[in-house]
């Protein structure tokens, strides 16, 4: 275990050390102490390492992540896991606005609640929120899965493309072109896998699925992965 004191050694040194790791590293486990809400912790990682942040973080924690597992033992500020490509980001507390924005892949788990615009413009990321999400979540979400074990705020899925939205609780309102859809067996399988990976004991049968009515956008759904 590598322990890095952020207060003593600074953010630039931390990110430089983490970004220097590669697939062959033997320094695979890192612990970051004294984060004190610092911004941009553990960004741009591209190695199969585990980073545990012992406290809450500011904005853009875990942004642009590839391969790494980033755990925050606290809450996270705006833009956590923004533009994530692969790996995992796990927040033990709450997340501020636009969590997982523009994420292309990987898994973001928020054990508490997420604020507004969770998963906006998501492009393949999977997001599981154990609590509630705020308004305008999944705005223009293109691909991937957003799972909400609690309630969703206003305008869920506004201008949605082909992302799948699963909500166990209530939805205050749906955004433009977002509708309730049938929960088919393949969706239950997807949901079961995501809930297990996220450490949730919720049952897939308790959720409702929402998706695009496909009346607002113009692209070929059969070529959606190419966009």
Distance between CA atoms of residues 78 and 75, nearest Å: 10
Confidence (pLDDT) at 216: 84
Domain locations along the chain: 2-226
Q: Bridge-partner residues for 30, per DSSP? A: 2, 51
Q: Which token pair is 214?
A: 């496909």
Q: Mean pLDDT in each 10-residue stretch from start to end of the chain (227 residues)?
A: 95 96 92 97 97 98 98 98 98 98 98 98 98 98 97 97 97 97 97 98 98 81 63
The CATH classification number of 2-226 equals 2.160.20.60
pLDDT at 227: 52
Q: What's the pLDDT at 221?
A: 63
pLDDT of residue 195: 98
pLDDT recorded at residue 186? 97
Distances (CA, A) of 195 to 23, 60, 163, 170: 28, 24, 17, 18
Helix, coil or strand: residue 112: coil
Q: How much is the pLDDT for 217? A: 72
């Amino acid at each position: 275990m590598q322990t890095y004191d952020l207060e003593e050694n600074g953010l630039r040194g931390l990110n430089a050390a983490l970004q220097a790791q590669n697939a062959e590293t033997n320094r695979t486990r890192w612990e970051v102490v004294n984060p004190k809400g610092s911004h941009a912790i553990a960004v741009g990682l591209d190695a199969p390492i585990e980073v545990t942040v012992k406290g809450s973080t500011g904005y853009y924690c875990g942004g642009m992540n590839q391969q790494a597992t980033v755990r925050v033992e606290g809450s996270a500020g705006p833009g956590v896991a923004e533009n994530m490509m692969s790996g995992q980001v796990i927040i033990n507390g709450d997340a501020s606005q636009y969590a997982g924005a523009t994420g292309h892949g990987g898994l973001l788990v928020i054990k508490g609640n997420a604020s507004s615009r969770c998963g906006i413009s998501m492009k393949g990321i999977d997001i599981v929120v154990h609590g509630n999400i705020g308004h305008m979540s999944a705005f223009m979400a293109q691909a991937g899965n957003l799972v909400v074990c609690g309630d969703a705020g206003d305008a869920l899925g506004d201008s949605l493309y082909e992302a799948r939205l699963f909500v166990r609780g209530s939805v205050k309102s749906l955004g433009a072109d977002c509708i309730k859809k049938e929960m088919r067996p393949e969706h239950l399988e997807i949901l079961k896998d995501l809930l297990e990976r996220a450490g949730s004991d919720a049952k897939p049968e308790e959720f409702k699925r929402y998706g695009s009515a496909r009346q607002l956008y113009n692209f070929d759904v059969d070529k959606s992965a190419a966009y």
